[in-house]
Chains A and B, each alone.
Chain A
Amino acid sequence: MVNSAVAGVAESGARPRSTIGILRLPRAQRRALVSYLAALLVWQLGSTSGRWLGVELPLLGRIPAPSDVLGAWSHLIVDPGYWQSWLASSKRVAAGFTAAVLTGVPLGLIMALSPPVWDVVFPVFELLRPIPPLAWVPAAIIFWPTQELSIDAVIFIGAFFTLVLNAVSGARSIDPRLIQVARSMGASRANILTRLVLPAVLPSVVVGMEVSIGITWEVVVAAEMISGGGSSRGASSGGGLGFFIWNSYVGGSYPQIIVGMISIGIAGYLSSAALRVVAARLSRWNAPYGGRA
């Protein structure tokens, strides 16, 4: 790390522990805690500035206060509709993301390994890739029979391009010389696939998945807002956290907006964590010949 190099190369050795007060945590955790508290304090004071200061602070003043948010959340936790929103969004994420993985990764591999396929597919791919996923929403709504499917389709598009690119990058990193050496010594095709190709591709695909899951959540939220809240087609879109946030705004229950935002953040974090567990499982039998990815 540059930090430690600037300060002096870090060495092993026990770090002296703080004996001050109850905070016997290592320094990094202590400072994090301090930041969180400071941020929370600023938020609370700023958002309630209208009440205790008499004058509302320009931007902070309009944010719902943490205390109100906490209150709203305590009501929502027992509200089944809130959890249904969670479920609806998660289902969409799972559906769209899985579909994207199952189509994108094989396509990427085929594209990388077969120049004819590459030449045919890549130009069109690059043509469509810069179009923001959300721009596909109206087209998707027109095309797909149900609103649910159209949201899933948009989610799919959002994750698809990244996954393909990462799969290609992973396939590219396979050193063909290793393949030659292995074949000349009689390794079977199956062996080469499992010992050389897959381990090289896996890290890139995993990175691609982690990036895509983030994009997926962005798209889900936006798609739910747009199709559920933005269009005048009627509000019964099956909920979801994005719709919940928009609805809260439209309905004037502002603290709920923040509850929704935090919920989505948590949901995103949980899905990334789930992905990492899956990735760790997969890498367990990963042979050490991964490419330079």
Chain B
Amino acid sequence: MTSGAIAWRPAGTQRAAAPVLPRSARADALPRRRGAIRIADAVKYYGTGESRVLAVDHCSLDIAAGEVFVVIGPSGCGKTTLLNALAGFHSLDAGSIHLDGELLCGPGREKAPIGADRIVVFQNGALFPWKTVLENVAFGPAMRGTIPRTELLERARRRLAEAGLQGYEESYPGETSSGVKRRVEIVRALMNDPAVLLLDEPFRALDALTKAMMHEALIASYLRTGSTVFFITHDIEEAVFLGSRVAIMTSRPCRPKKILSIDIPYPRGRETVTSRRFRELVAEAMAAVHEEALKAYALGEKEG
């Protein structure tokens, strides 16, 4: 009888190749430059008293306006905490966050205000089930009264068509597939021209085919609007494919361990995935992530 542990590894799905982006999207034609985020020495505890856990420990990040900043790390390491603090859902115990030079949260202001300049796309989807797709997409400007109604509906229809979703306007979210729902949610967010788009593992539950389409859709939208994108994911290849910079975070407490600059120009397509530079970057990222994953495993992290 041979003893000895079995080496388990993820039953890897190789990433499906991404389709080619439309020619009209030009890498350097970013229309706007705002949404610069500066996170300085952020600290966040969960729980109180003796059993409290340090989730984020003096984490500092500088995110340039208009870039796609992807955050990767082992589960439960506090990445979502940063996103929540940015969005205004949680407060920070110490440290500060500035957006375009103005204080979002920090000394004197415990929580950032929730507002349409930093819009979140939720992991499990938050399209309002009782409103049609069109009503959902038009929701933000409709609530804030920034655009007159007829113009708003027209613009919404156009945006939906640009995203390849014409024909879905009068459907309810419950009647559509998850891929469609995701795209609608991104359109809904971008209708408001946010300075920052926050995405917390939005494509996690999608299958490989749909995911590939979502990447395409996200990049196309990003190239049109130029919002800063703050994206959290587990998928290393997704991160390197989407991001202009990828931050690999340490296991709890959360701190950037390594930041990779992805020097592959936008738009990125099918050929990107097989290019040598892409593979090099993925390998580099994987090595760093693997180290942290082992540490997290040793700590007994469970899937959050």
Contacts and interface: CB of A to CB of B under 8 A. Distances in A.
B297 interface: no
A12 B91 contact: no
Interface string B34-48: 000000000000111
B91 A11 contact: yes
Interface residues of B, number: 10
Contacts of B91: 11
Contacts of B111: 8
Contacts of B48: 12-14
Interface in A7-59: 8-9, 11-14
A12 B47 contact: yes
A291 to B, nearest CB: 21
Nearest to B84: A9
A26 to B, nearest CB: 15
A12 B46 contact: yes
Interface in A116-140: none
A contact patch SS: loop
A12 B44 CA distance: 11
Nearest to B90: A11
Contacts, number: 14
Contacts of B46: 12
A8 B114 CA distance: 9
A9 B90 CA distance: 7
Contacts of A8: 88-89, 111, 114
Contacts of A13: 48
B contact patch SS: loop
Contacts of A9: 84, 89-90
- In this complex, the interface size class of chain A, counting residues with CB under 8 Å from chain B, is under 10
A12 B46 CA distance: 7
Nearest to A11: B90
A114 to B, nearest CB: 33
Contacts of B47: 12
Interface string B2-23: 0000000000000000000000
Contacts of A11: 90-91
A184 to B, nearest CB: 21
Interface in B104-123: 111, 114
Nearest to A8: B111
A11 B48 CA distance: 10
A261 to B, nearest CB: 41
B39 to A, nearest CB: 19
Contacts of B88: 8
A13 to B, nearest CB: 6
Contacts of B90: 9, 11
B200 to A, nearest CB: 14
Nearest to A9: B89
Interface in B43-58: 46-48
A40 B111 CA distance: 41
A11 B114 CA distance: 16
A12 B45 CA distance: 9
A9 B120 CA distance: 15
A10 to B, nearest CB: 10
A56 B46 CA distance: 58
Nearest to A14: B48
A14 B50 CA distance: 13
A60 B201 CA distance: 59
Interface string A225-253: 00000000000000000000000000000
Contacts of B89: 8-9
- Chain A to chain B: the 9 pairs with minimum beta-carbon distance, closest first: A9-B89, A12-B47, A14-B48, A12-B48, A13-B48, A11-B90, A8-B111, A12-B46, A9-B90
6 contacts: A8-B88, A8-B111, A8-B114, A12-B46, A12-B47, A13-B48
Given A8-B114, A9-B90, A13-B48, 11 more contacts: A8-B88, A8-B89, A8-B111, A9-B84, A9-B89, A11-B90, A11-B91, A12-B46, A12-B47, A12-B48, A14-B48
